[in-house]
Each structure stands twice: as structure tokens, then as C-alpha cells.
Homo-oligomer: A and B are copies of this chain.
């Protein structure tokens, strides 16, 4: 097809590339530095790491010919001008490796430099000739010249080089120029005319909570024993000790802002609510304020700050919800009419998913003419909560707002609060979910909630833990959410609730439970629907947290295992094991430092099952000291079992305990 472009659009392309002129410095850079890992999309996005964990960097580094190459890893905090330098070593087929460790939360950069060592090349050849009995008189003159040249730029190494030249002059001995201890000062001082630096790659180092955490989600207004009494922050404060005792790390609230009154939704998403119904907290904003205000029935900002402090005191932290939609009575609708789209008849353009309309919310227009101020206003909302000591933000439906808004906003917020964590609640197409993670979201919701078979888990976890996904996509496995009561929970059988929470808590470093799950709540809105009946989104829902049949103790034990075993605090070192039963998932996770390994078997069906858990040739331990697993020790009972034929026979009865967790012993 040969068509011409519409004339209105000017091609934004750079136009034909000019050949690089021969006298350009470009031609001095003799090295190829290829396939540098870790990197995301050629350095467009930052690799994610946790502080104090070493970052191993590998790359293909080579030039023409056979001269001796030196390569180093350069790294620095984003705002530093000097690079720090780590050595790199060649380990295989032109592949080199080096490492550095970021010790502070924040943005880093790294790159590789390579150059030819003229001295080492000379030394290598001269030693070979010496061994072969060749006359090296002229070679020694060459070596002397190399040292003399380096001497002119040598700093600390100058005395050693001077000494070598003097010794050679005095004795004429080859050893004077070939001595081992000349290598280091010559490497530092000799010229590097072909020094080649790779592209510079970004990295973000974050606190451990960015990767690891057990989340508990609750609606503050439901923390009451009376459906007619709106729960408050003080009610939540009273619950904090019990939640913390179960080992949860993060306490997450749906929006806590004033709720709109115009077109307010009633119970079960009804369009005709009764007077006094509380509405959905996702219809943000009312006469009392917008995204930076607190719903008056929950309490005051001071109450909230007290809650933040109490939570912190109990070793947890608060996560707030960030949803950009506004209720029709959000103050911005009047203060910033131009931040919204209006219809030709002057009416509001409600959120919609044609043919459906959501008449209790309006989306701001992220590409309105006053875009910059709208974006800044949203940033300022997060900064405001940051100033209230909130350091975790769960973002509602980020995939329906511009990608570049998130990249900009997260960058801005983390410049002010480097330890701010953002969780992306995008349930959408895989590439979109990955794009959000690349753009800066610290962690992400996943498809876990709907994965049920062994083959599905193996495929999905393999995708999340492979390169490059493992460098940017940090999963948070929610067993349920206020929006999702998955089909497999609707039977209400306790074993499946236990199995699901065990899967989430052991497969992913971060996982989440929405309250009610521990009480085996399981009644759907209707048959064939994955939504809760009488959803808490639209009503106040008092509960008896100690009701018979609850699985709080079970969850508490899982959280304790997670805290005690670093192997469960990361996602990357996961290996599936052969289990001769498709209804049992078996895997081993090993800590980043290789000082802890846990074997897990979880029933995916009602069972009971007897099965072989086969370790095959799986080895654990640090590189250079990897070993076969020889025994496993039950984390609950302490019972130790020895492997036979690289495997072990196990028994699971999901009605009491659908998951077996073991420490691996070599």
C-alpha cells in the first residue's frame, strides 16, 4: 500500500541519520557492552531493589583482537556527580559480572566502563615470550616506555612505578618490569584512550516493605458492633493490637474521604438508596472536602494521626487508597470546572463503561487545558497524606489514567518521600499491568485471585519470577477484595480458605486479605457473580471477629513463618518441585542470602492426599557451595524427615491443614 500522509500531521521523526564523521570521539570507544542485566527496556525504566541487598550486574563486554580488557561497574546515587567503582570479572564467553550494594532508599544509576590495558597486554605477551625462550630485549624497552608514560599521571602509585624504572635501569632484569605488584598501580595510572562507557541505567532502592508485607484490608466505618453506629478511627485503634498480633504488616483502608451525596449509591449498588445510607467511599468528595479531607463520621485529622501512630507502635503501617474519581459534589467540580469534560447540553460527563453509566462519580480529564495544575493537585494530595506520615498508597484502577501521569507523580512524590510505596490495583491486560509496574508502581495486584490449578500456578509464577519481570514486577497476592469473591471461595469450605491464604502467603512476598475472609464470608451477590452479597462498599458491616470457625490463628501462624523465614520474604528464588499429584503444589523458596530455604506443599483440592514430593537435583546454598537437600523439618511440629531417592512421601489432610511447610536441611 502506497499512500501519502494526511497533510495535517507533521512527522515527528528525527529524519535521516547522518553518518558519524571520522574525527568523532565515537570511534575511540572500542568496546561493545551488550545485554547489560539487570535493565528494563534498554534503561527506559528503573530496576527495583531493596537496600542492603547486593545488585549483581552482568554484561557481554568485548572488543576486537585479543588485548587485555579491564572492566568496572560504576554506580552512584542519582544526585551525586562522582561514580563509585566496583571491579568486574570475566566469567564466561565474553560475559562479565560485578556488584554493588545500595545502602539508602532512593534512586541510583549504574553503568559499565571498559578499556584496554596496554600494559597488561604487553606483560602477557612478554611473559609468554620469556617462557618460550625468545629474546625480549626490545619488549623490555617497550615495557619501560609504558611505565614511564603512566608515571606522568600516577597518583599514589608513582613511587612504585618510579622504583620499577630505577630497578630496571640498575639491573636490566625483566623481573623489574614484570613484577606482579606493578599490575595494580599500572592499571590505575596508564592511559585509557579507548575507554568505553555503557549507557547509564536507573535503579530504585527501597525499604523491605516495598517487597514484603502481609496486608489486612478493612473498612474503618465497619469497625462497630452496631449497624446504625458509624465506625471511627478510634474503633480502628482498638482493633490494632489484635490485628498486629496476627502478624500483619500493613493495615489498608478504602478511601477515608467525605462521600458525595448526589446520586449516592445504596445497599448492593442500588440507584435508589434509603435516607441515611452511607454511600460508597469511592464516590470521593462532598461539602466537607475532597481528596485531602477526612469523612467527618470517621473522626478528625488528629484522630487519624493518632491511628497512624498507634499502628506504627504495633509494628504495622497504614496504607491509604488513592482513587482519582470525584463525586458530583466534590469541591473541584465547582472550583476547577475546567478539569472536567462537560457534555454539549451542559451536563456532567459521568464515568461510564458503555452502555453503563456510573452517576455517582466523574473522572477528571487528565488532558484538559489546565492539565499541569490538575496533575499537581493530585500530587499534592499524596504529599498531604505523606505529611500525615502515610507511606503506602494503594492506587485504584491506575490503568484507566494516563501512564505518564503515574510516572511523573510517583517520581515527584518519591523525591519528597523516598520511602513512599505505591501499590497498583490494575486488573487488566498483562502488558498494561506490567507497564504500570515499570512506570514506578512499587508493587502490583495480580491474577492470583483467579488462578486455581497447579499448571496455572506454575506458569504464572514462572512468568512473574523470570527475567526481566522479576526486576520490576513485585506481586501482591490478594485472596479476595471488596470487589472480588472468587468462585472457588463460594462453597464456604474452610479448607479452601486456608489453602488460598497459604498459597498467597508463601508464593508471594506480599499478600493481602480483605476482612471477612478470615470469617469464611462466602455468599455471592448472585449465582455466577464473583461479587459479595451486601457488599461493604455500600453499607456498614459490623462483624464478630472471633466468631466460631474463623481462621485467624491459621493466618497468624503463616505470618509468623513469613517473619521467621527470609526465604518467604522474596519472590525470585522459587523453584517448583515434582509432586505426583496434580492437586498438590510443591515448591522450594530460598532466601536471597542463601541462608534459609523452605519447602512447601499445598493442597489445591479437598483431599486427603498421599504423594511423593521430589526434589530431583535441586540444590540450595550460596554459589560455589550448593548442596542437595538431605532432610526437611516441619515448621509446625519440628519433626525432621530424611529424603530417600531425592524425595519424600508426604500426607496432607486439607480438612485440618492444607499446607505443609518445612525448613530445608543440606
> Which A residues fall within an 8 A CB radius of B?
1-9, 11-17, 19-20, 22-23, 26-30, 32, 34, 41-42, 60, 62-66, 74, 78-87, 93-94, 109, 111, 124-126, 128-129, 131-132, 134, 138, 141-142, 145, 153, 155, 188-189, 191-195, 197, 200, 202, 343-345, 347, 352-355, 367, 371-372, 375-376, 398-405, 408, 411-412, 415, 429-432, 435
Contact = CB atoms under 8 A, between A and B. Distances in A.
17 contacts: A6-B153, A8-B191, A11-B82, A11-B83, A11-B197, A16-B79, A16-B80, A22-B376, A23-B372, A27-B404, A28-B367, A34-B431, A60-B431, A63-B402, A66-B400, A131-B355, A138-B343
Contacts of A27: 371, 402, 404-405, 408
A274 to B, nearest CB: 26
A367 B400 CA distance: 55
B408 A32 contact: no
Q: Which of A15, A23, A111 has the most CB of B within 10 A?
A: A15
Contact of A86 (B1, B23, B194, B195): B1
Nearest to A432: B62
Contacts of A404: 26-27, 29-30
A473 to B, nearest CB: 14
Contacts of A9: 192, 195
Contacts of A124: 354
Nearest to A26: B404
Given A22-B408, A354-B124, A30 B141 contact: no
Contacts of A193: 367
A-B pairs with lowest CB-CB distance, top 8: A125-B354, A132-B355, A141-B344, A128-B354, A129-B355, A22-B372, A94-B431, A8-B153
A354 B197 contact: no
A62 B429 contact: yes
B111 A13 contact: yes
B429 A93 contact: yes
B64 A5 contact: no
A82 to B, nearest CB: 7
Nearest to A191: B8
B429 A74 contact: no
A344 B431 CA distance: 62
A12 B432 contact: no
Nearest to A188: B6
